[in-house]
A and B are shown apart, each in its own frame.
Chain A
């Protein structure tokens, strides 16, 4: 009877979740409340956490509460520290949640709200959460080793190198595409450019305060920083209104791209305490605050979704990026459903803080559920806009035409009516010159967030909310850019150190400058090409990033599946094998199409050939003819890069299969590297307290 009573609430949650899911899936033609999205997501998350994650922990991984974690065994009071689970959760979530779950869903909204929403919810509970949780567990059992080390130890040197190279290249592409998002958000917007620029001196003030004025007073310094940031958002209005000052901040995309590159280089060689660490504090508070605010506003306001469930663009003709629903919705939304990058945080970083294995479920699985929820909110913010407005903001000039009249005519002809006056009014409300062709996802997300915040907390402040949202996105994009360039620098120094040991000294100035410059020119190249691309650049870079990120996830799942089978858990290998198979299918299909498609909006080679035909026929305008050779080279380069990614993926898949087959045949394989069991003292201590 008691058991029966316990199951009733879960049955109700299941019913409510099924009802909410069918409401959003079966709705056609009518506006639907955003509350259904929140309800569906929360019910699925609750069920998955309560049952699937619990089963994973108890039966598949067999977490052992009595076993001492690396944080306990190797406690040094600094990086290995047993920490309370909520604190570890906070650190882990702050580390995994970046701009990815905000941008991906916004772009994928071109297919309608339904495909993206379903993938975010189901991809997370079956794929992303499982990956994060299993990798966290495996690394915890292996003295907090990194993914690359685990791949080398458990599969072999091939797996290790693939993970290392994969991590490095994905970092380069990621930074380039994020840089492009920021540039597009600041292009010809003096207000946004001022606010984003102001975050740099503000971070430095906070850094100096924390380091020298009041050492270690983190919260005090952060409070000053947050106040200054909010002032800079408000102050941007006066810059925008001032005729002489606005010229300083009213810049072309290309100029801004050079600024971002210079900034990235400076951030990589400056000491962390001056820029990176304080900026990270500010971005973490902004992230936590804004996401909470957004959740509250959506629940309070219950905005209705204006985007249809499915648009005709599932046939591959979408204006934001080319390609059919399958496989491109799964590539576009990586973070929020499954993100390989998380495996780098879940191994190496988070396990050093974990005080007990039983927290793995909450931190690994639960952390990713929260990120998935952020992606759902981004999807809501993108789809509360009138579809016409959404497409007008996100379609590049190369797709819909450079002038406003032809753009609205084209978008209206798709069946999403929008007028020039409507766009002008919106731009005026948001304090912007124009909102046409502001590709990259950040401006449309900011308009969506501003309209939600505006409706919930005061319509008159729309322009402030818009620029607050832009600042919020930019500040942690720049944090990822700083941190990523720095990590890239360390990795490069490490690799070069194998050839010339002196280069491996992370503090040797010539090495620092050389490697930082190499990393910045790596992503700077893609950023430059993205900015000069008449179609907006995001349409090329984002799929490339998605393929790279999903490839990294596939590497992580290969390591996990290999270890599960080596540990004699064949019957459970599907928990990682299933998402792995799906990732292999989608990345291979996407890569195949990006390489071989004859549609110039999808195939890299097709686009390159088309452009060079036009160039030799002389049918390009003078301006376009000038940049055409660079674009052609880049398209071909992107095709080769995609081929490289997919070869790397198949290489590691075969390596994993080799280990699996040898294990099943009883042939010798590399031994498991799990550290031996040692009893936890912390558990006893707590019981005694």
Chain B
């Protein structure tokens, strides 16, 4: 049961975007870890990342009837 609860909690966090920054960090570690400090992709802080993530989410048709 606690295992199922954990799974549901993870799914909820993923669905709502609560863990978006953690996922970004993981993505960054894999894709941009070896680029130096002057690389075009500096690591964003949580606030910066969230801003970008939220603004981009609402470009295009996201809701319908």
Contact = CB atoms under 8 A, between A and B. Distances in A.
Contacts of B56: 78-79
A273 B54 contact: yes
Contact of A98 (B24, B50, B55, B63): B63
A491 B28 CA distance: 33
A215 B50 contact: yes
A277 interface: yes
A106 to B, nearest CB: 14
Interface in B1-54: 11-18, 20-21, 23-24, 27-28, 31, 46-47, 49-54
B15 A90 contact: yes
A174 B65 CA distance: 8
A78 B27 CA distance: 10
A77 B60 contact: no
Given A87-B15, A215-B46, A273-B55, A479 B63 contact: yes
Interface string A335-350: 1000101101100110
Nearest to B49: A216
Interface stretch (A62-70, A481-489, A591-599): A481-489
Contacts of A197: none
A396 interface: no
Nearest to B11: A86
A216 B23 CA distance: 12
A84 to B, nearest CB: 7
Given A341-B65, A344-B64, A215 B11 contact: no
B55 to A, nearest CB: 6
Interface residues of A, number: 51
A265 to B, nearest CB: 17
A135 to B, nearest CB: 13
Contacts of B52: 78
A537 interface: no
B65 A216 contact: no
Interface in A631-649: none
Given A95-B63, A341-B65, A549-B65, A211 B51 contact: yes
A83 B15 CA distance: 10
A216 B21 contact: yes
B64 A98 contact: yes
A345 B65 contact: no
Contacts of A91: 15
A635 B49 CA distance: 50
Given A77-B24, A87-B11, A349-B60, A218 B65 contact: no
Contact of B61 (A83, A280, A281, A349): A349
Given A77-B28, A272-B54, A215 B64 contact: no
A195 interface: no
Contacts of B46: 215-216
A339 B51 contact: no
A388 B24 CA distance: 56
Interface residues of B, number: 34
Contacts of B59: 490
Most buried by B among A77, A100, A277, A342: A77
A349 B62 contact: yes
B64 A87 contact: no
Contacts of B12: 219
A408 interface: no
B64 A480 contact: yes
B44 to A, nearest CB: 11
Contacts of B14: 83-84, 87
Interface in A232-290: 272-273, 276-277, 280-281
Contacts of B47: 215-216
Contacts of A87: 11, 14-15
A217 interface: yes
A62 B25 CA distance: 36
B65 A281 contact: no
A276 to B, nearest CB: 6
Contacts of A222: 16
Contacts of B64: 95-96, 98, 100, 339, 341-342, 344-345, 480
A155 B46 CA distance: 44
Given A87-B11, A87-B14, A277-B58, A480 B51 contact: no
A99 interface: yes
Contacts of B55: 272-273
Nearest to A506: B59
Contacts of B16: 218-219, 222, 281
A403 B23 CA distance: 61
Contacts of B58: 272, 276-277, 483, 486
B40 to A, nearest CB: 13
Interface in A477-531: 479-480, 483-484, 486-487, 490
A277 B63 contact: no
Given A77-B28, A272-B55, A487 B61 contact: yes
26 contacts: A77-B28, A78-B53, A91-B15, A96-B64, A99-B65, A100-B64, A174-B65, A210-B54, A211-B51, A215-B46, A215-B51, A216-B18, A216-B49, A222-B16, A272-B55, A273-B55, A277-B57, A280-B62, A280-B63, A281-B16, A345-B62, A483-B63, A486-B58, A487-B60, A490-B59, A549-B65
Given A81-B23, A273-B54, A487-B60, 9 more contacts: A95-B63, A100-B64, A146-B60, A167-B61, A216-B49, A339-B65, A349-B60, A480-B64, A480-B65
Interface of A: 75, 77-79, 81, 83-84, 86-87, 90-91, 95-96, 98-100, 146, 167, 174, 178, 210-211, 215-219, 222, 272-273, 276-277, 280-281, 334-335, 339, 341-342, 344-345, 348-349, 479-480, 483-484, 486-487, 490, 549
